[in-house]
């Protein structure tokens, strides 16, 4: 499933969310990166073993991606669970954004030039 990483988060008052430290807009790439770098699962328990390695692999995939990343259903499930460590507003928006499949815009084909008239 293709996921658009540039979707912007909103505060409760519908203003664009910005990171406290950088003052840059918070987007899905930021949230997914934070999930991948967090050492806790969605229940606040420490990650151990394979789930920790899985998060690192997802981190690399997201970091290398352009504006769109290809994620499997398993990837999305793993990220949704990790989103539970966020506040309610961020967790909800993260999960919502992960459910929206990116569809690239359709570019109209250029019409062929008109036939010359005799």
Q: What is the pLDDT of residue 114?
A: 76
H/E stretch holding 97: helix 88-98
Mean residue pLDDT of the chain comes to: 92
State pLDDT tens for residues 25-67: 999 999 999 999 999 888 888 998 999 999 999 999 999 999 9
pLDDT at 103 over 90: no
How many C-beta neighbours within 10 Å does residue 5 have? 19
Confidence of residue 15 (pLDDT cuts 50, 70, 90): very high
Q: Locate the domains of the chain by residue range.
A: 2-98
Q: What is the pLDDT of residue 110?
A: 75
Q: What is the pTM of this model?
A: 0.84
CA-to-CA distance for 28 and 18, rounded, in angstroms? 12
What is residue 57's three-state secondary structure?
A: helix
Strand-pair partners of 68: 4
């Amino acid at each position: 499933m293709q996921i658009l990483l540039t979707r912007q988060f909103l505060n409760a008052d519908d203003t664009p969310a910005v990171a406290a430290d950088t003052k840059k807009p918070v987007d899905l790439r930021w949230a997914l990166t934070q999930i991948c770098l967090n050492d806790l699962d969605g229940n606040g328990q420490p990650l151990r073993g394979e789930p920790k390695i899985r998060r690192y692999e997802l981190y690399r995939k997201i970091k290398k991606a352009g504006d769109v990343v290809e994620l499997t259903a398993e990837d999305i499930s793993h990220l949704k669970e990790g989103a539970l460590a966020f506040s309610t507003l961020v967790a909800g928006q993260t999960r919502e954004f992960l459910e929206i499949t990116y569809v690239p815009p359709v570019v109209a084909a250029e019409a062929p030039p008109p036939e010359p008239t005799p």
